[in-house]
Amino acid sequence: MPRSFPWLAATLLLSGCVSPTTDSPAPPPPVAAPNTDVNSYLDLMQRLGSSDPAQQTDLFHEVERAYTAAPTTANSLRYAVSLIVPGHPGTNAAEGKRLLETLLASPERLLANERVLASVFLLETEARLKVEADARRLLATVDERTRAQANSERRLQAQTEENARLRKSLEEAQAKLDAIRDIERTIIERNPSPPGAAGSRSESSVEAQSPPAGR
């Protein structure tokens, strides 16, 4: 039994049943985990995206005032989130993108989940801005082609009208020419012999009947 006591004492000590006779240093207190909850940002997005216009305006101005009064990291991120949410009067995706880039330029100021959230929001905003820019370019191209087509149609219409005017002028000129020909034909039918032809024949007959000179 005396030889087995040390083993038994060690077993009881490790199992927490007995305490050592000497005082051991107290373990350090657990470090409180930083608040990495991002639900507040997601809730802000949900409220801005689904509330009526008056509530959206009030909520956005509330976030904006908090950011203006104290531009802390949390207030800056909340303001950036409110800027990139579409569908409310304060939406400004370009400004929200700039603010997110500023926050991510100093990542040590953000909590781990805030960095992830800001990075995701930045990627989504960049993609949305690119799509909007592409849509504007396509719309400008369509407008330009529509204007070009309209100009072509106007030119075609003008050319068609000009051709019709020329055709009408040609028909009028042809009608006048036909009228002149009809008048000439009427004159010829009334006077089959050209003027002066009868006088020439009479003079020839007189010369034929006159005796030769000198007889």
Residue 83 CA to residue 49 CA, distance in Å, equals: 11
Residue 199 CA to residue 154 CA, distance in Å, equals: 67
Cα of 201 vs its chain's centroid, Å? 95
pTM above threshold 0.75 = no
Q: Residue 3: helix, strand or coil by DSSP?
A: coil
Q: What is the pLDDT along the chain (215 residues), one digit of tens a residue?
A: 444 433 334 343 444 444 444 455 555 444 333 444 788 999 999 999 888 999 999 999 999 999 999 999 999 999 999 999 998 989 999 999 999 999 999 999 999 999 999 999 999 999 999 999 999 999 888 888 888 888 888 888 888 988 998 888 988 888 888 888 888 778 877 776 655 555 555 555 555 555 555 54
- Residues 63/82, Cβ–Cβ less than 8 Å: yes
What region, left, alpha or beta, does residue 214 occupy, with left being phi > 0 and alpha being psi -120 to 50 degrees? left
Residue 116 CA to residue 38 CA, distance in Å, equals: 10
What does the pLDDT read at residue 84? 95
